[in-house]
Amino acid sequence: MYEVEIKVPADVDAVRERLREAGAERVDARRQRDAYYDAPHRDFAETDEALRVRRESPLPDGIGGEAESAPAGADPAPETTKLTYKGPLLDEGSKTRAEHETEVDDGEAMAGALSGLGFEPAAVVEKRREFWSFAGFTVTLDRVEGVGEFVEIEREVDDEGAIEATRDEALAALDRLGLDGDSQVRTSYLGLLLADGEGSE
């Protein structure tokens, strides 16, 4: 599975209004706390890989706290945990990577297993996110602590040969939202946070 993704800095409130005007649907909103790990056998910063444990909980009113009803089908459950591995960037024109993700029943047990194998916590990224469905893509409005506001547009594809066409469609969708794909940021939120010296466990 390949995640074709483009991320640009943006005013998320303005983009939310454009999404509404375009008839897009808000499908979810969540608070996420991502703990990233360093590997004992190679340097992920050099190999451009990432391993994280994500804990997330629903935000029924969205990331701005505006008075909206909860999205249809919103998950009322408490915090959930997922383990994710992201491979190196595959495409110079986007943030496309191979990605493997699975839900974890016990976040503390997962952290203990990683620690026992020699994986050490590197940094924590905290963000509030709204997920919208638009033009066949997931558009995510992000407020990231210590980093700023961004919009991500993404779609998963099974075939590596579909990456380029999907990237071009994503750029066209961004343009319809008044966003400039040329301003994209290929550095991860982790990288942006560490560049500012804000990463902590």
- Residue 40, H or E segment: none
Alpha helices in 33-83 (DSSP H): 44-47
Residue 36 known to be catalytic = yes
19-31 pLDDT per residue, tens: 999 999 999 999 9
The pLDDT assigned to 72 comes to 55
Alpha helices in the chain (DSSP H): 12-21, 44-47, 107-116, 163-176, 189-195
Q: What is the DSSP letter of 181?
A: G
Q: Could you tell me the fold of the domain covering 2-195?
A: Hypothetical Protein Pfu-838710-001 (2.40.320)
Domains of the chain by residue range: 2-195
111-142 pLDDT per residue, tens: 999 999 999 999 999 999 999 999 999 999 99
Bridge partners of 141, per DSSP, are: 130, 151
Q: Which of 2, 36, 37, 189 is catalytic?
A: 36
